[in-house]
């Protein structure tokens, strides 16, 4: 962010400690402790709202999207990134199989994630238009399951050219088990290595990330042409090389 382009920055987080640890900036900045589902700002306040890897913690994602849409000015834009449905699928599957084998049932131990097929619908329903949704996957290799879980509980993860960031990704579900038995953990580690292990003995952990852009409607925005107003058929595109060659002659 540059002072020449950003007049004022409002940092919002439900955790006061997270705001205290924010990086200092030359841009005039105000920190506000607030819940994404109940943003304490007036309608049509911001030109831009940005969210980076925090929305998977939200209890009511549709409401959070509606709140973001409401505080944006007309022609304002929301840019966000959040963890997707395939995140940590290796860990989740290994824990479930181990619990089924050793305890006869399983409980979620990783917070639930949104499917990419639902994301565009949720943004559209919240009022956003001109949507862009993209997805990416990043794999991080670890010595074993216990190292994966140690990082997720609050350590730092480093992958390639990506900056370090603190995950703290334990499970926030109310119905989770308070602990995992030692026998179950050892079984899960063996399953993890057997099903997903690399040839060098390490195990991968997958992080799927959704990137999204949505705009708040304004009269000046470009609109799609009326249905049936096209003057060229898609079938004519196959003939375009021939038409261009005749035009040059």
% pLDDT > 90, the chain: 44
d(CA 37, CA 54): 12
Structure tokens at 71: 């505080």
The residues facing 50 across adjacent strands are 79
Angle, in degrees to the nearest 10, between helices 89-103 and 145-152: 110
Q: Are 100 and 217 in contact (CB under 8 A)?
A: no
Tokens of residue 94, six digits: 């290994």
pLDDT beyond 90 at 202: yes
Digit-coded pLDDT (tens) for 69-106: 999 999 999 999 999 888 999 998 998 899 888 877 66
Per residue in 20-71, pLDDT tens? 887 787 888 899 999 989 999 999 999 999 999 888 888 899 999 999 999 9
With DSSP H G I counted as helix, E B as strand and the rest as coil, what are the percentages for the chain, rounded to 5?
35, 25, 40
Percent of the chain whose pLDDT exceeds 70: 79
CB neighbour list of residue 229: distance below 8 Å, 6 or more residues apart? none
Q: β-strand 203-215 against 129-142: which pairing, if any?
A: antiparallel
pTM: 0.74
């Amino acid at each position: 962010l540059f002072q020449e382009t950003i007049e004022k920055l409002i940092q919002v987080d439900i955790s006061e400690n997270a705001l205290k640890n924010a990086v200092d900036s030359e841009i005039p900045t105000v920190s506000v402790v607030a819940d994404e589902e109940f943003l304490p700002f007036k309608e049509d306040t911001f030109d831009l709202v940005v969210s980076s890897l925090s929305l998977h913690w939200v209890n009511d994602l549709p409401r959070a999207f509606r709140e973001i849409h409401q505080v944006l000015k007309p022609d304002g834009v929301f840019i966000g990134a959040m963890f997707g449905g395939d995140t940590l699928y290796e860990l989740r599957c290994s824990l479930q199989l181990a619990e089924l084998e050793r305890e006869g049932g399983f409980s979620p131990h990783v917070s639930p994630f949104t499917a990419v097929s639902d994301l565009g619908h949720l943004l559209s329903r919240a009022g956003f238009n001109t949507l862009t949704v993209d997805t990416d996957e990043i794999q991080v290799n670890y010595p074993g399951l216990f190292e994966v879980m140690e990082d997720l509980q609050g350590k730092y993860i480093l992958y390639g050219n990506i900056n370090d960031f603190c995950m703290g990704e334990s499970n926030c579900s109310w119905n989770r088990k308070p602990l995992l038995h030692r026998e179950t953990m050892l079984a899960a580690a063996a399953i993890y290595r057997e099903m997903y292990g690399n040839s060098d003995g390490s195990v991968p952990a997958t992080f799927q990330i959704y990137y999204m852009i949505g705009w708040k409607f304004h009269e000046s925005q470009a609109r799609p042409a009326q249905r049936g107003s096209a003057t060229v058929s898609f079938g004519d595109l196959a003939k375009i090389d021939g038409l261009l060659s005749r035009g040059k002659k």
